[in-house]
Amino acid sequence: MSTSRKTEVADHLREALTRGDYKPGERLPGEEELAEQLDVSRATARLGMRILQDEGRIAIQAGRGAFVADHRPIVHLATPITGGSDSERFDAGYQPHLREAGYDQIDEKIKVSLDTMRPKVARRLRRGDAGDGPHGGLVVIRASDRFVEGSLWQSQVTHFPFSIANNTPLMSPDRLEQGVAAVLQELGYREDWNWDIVGARMPSQDEAESFGLGPGIPLLVQERVAYDGETPLRFTETVMPANRHQLLYSGGRAPEELLLMASDVNIFER
């Protein structure tokens, strides 16, 4: 079984998927049929199919066969617009958007904790002196796990300096219907600018199991630090499977209907 032959199998299937010969969720030819078509052994056909599985292009199910990966990503509104960001307003924005896409069972679980500030968080919040002062080393953590059809869909963790969040609604495990930015404004802090970094990485084994990910599916990681002038107010890290999410950024005076306007955009389209 030469490497070149299994690569030929993978190339053959990849080209077929690119042409749209098979639709998302459709069953692909089995190992035996594929081996006969390409004049290779079943073992070589199997190895070629595994290459595409590792790329996240197909899903191989034991006893059922191989199927085209069904990438139907939900648009994640990364840029706040009039009325707030859907990533923060679960009931008013994010949940209805999922229901419109055909998902019914949607839930959010929130946990709040108090911990010492890890070096990564201290760097994001520019707290080089995190250990100084009576509460300088403490951070309030709001963790939100969002579930769709019983599976973990998105995980978001926000860190607030203790001096900002102590004895405020930010320490409550209840959902903040008006959004974090609105709560901060009520406390006298205005989020007037922020920066984002978005990257991709492969999940750990625990993350793959928690998100229910097959081989070859990376995670998108979005980091955001929001400021009031030169004062960092919060650091938020959102982790989401790349085949289920795509980030939407806007510039200028984007309309409130932006999320609806872009809801049918799919970067996996060919």
Q: What's the fold here for domain 74-261? A: Chorismate lyase (3.40.1410)
d(CA 58, CA 167): 49
Q: Model confidence over 94-134: pLDDT tens digits?
A: 777 778 777 888 889 999 999 999 999 999 998 655 444 44
* Residue range 234-239: mean pLDDT, rounded: 95
- What pLDDT was estimated at residue 86? 53
pLDDT at position 17: 86
The sign of the dihedral angle between the CA atoms of 47, 49, 52, 56 is negative
Instruction: Read off the DSSP letter of residue 134.
Output: S
CA angle 217–219–221, rounded 5-degree value: 165
DSSP result, 145-156:
EEEETTEEEEEE
Instruction: Judge if 3-68 and 74-261 fold alike in CATH terms.
Output: no
Instruction: Please state, in angstroms and rounded to a whole number, the distance separating the CA atoms of residues 133 and 198.
Output: 33
Q: Which amino acid, 115?
A: D
Q: Using CA atoms, how far apart are residues 108 and 56, in angstroms rounded to an integer?
A: 27
For tokens 């955001």, what's the residue?
A: 224
Q: How much of the chain exceeds pLDDT 90, in percent?
A: 47
Place of tokens 């690569």: 7
Q: For residue range 37-50, what is the model confidence (pLDDT) as tens digits?
A: 999 999 999 999 98
Q: Which of 111, 161, 172 is nearest to 135 (CA)?
A: 161
Question: What is the chain's mean pLDDT, rounded?
Answer: 85
Is the pLDDT at 253 greater than 80, yes or no?
Answer: no
CA distance 158 to 233: 10
Give the CATH architecture of domain 3-68. Answer: Orthogonal Bundle (1.10)
CB 70 within 8 Å of CB 25: yes
Contact 217, 204 (CB under 8 A): no
Once rounded to an integer, what is the mean pLDDT over residues 134-150? 84
- For residue range 173-232, list pLDDT tens digits in order: 998 888 888 899 999 999 999 999 999 999 999 999 999 888 888 999 999 999 999 999
* Domain positions in the chain: 3-68, 74-261
Measured CA to CA in angstroms, residue 169 lies from 140, 182, 224 at distances of 11, 11, 21
pLDDT of residue 126: 83
The two most distant CA atoms of the chain are separated, in Å, by 73
Phi then psi dihedrals of residue 251, to 5 deg: -130, 160
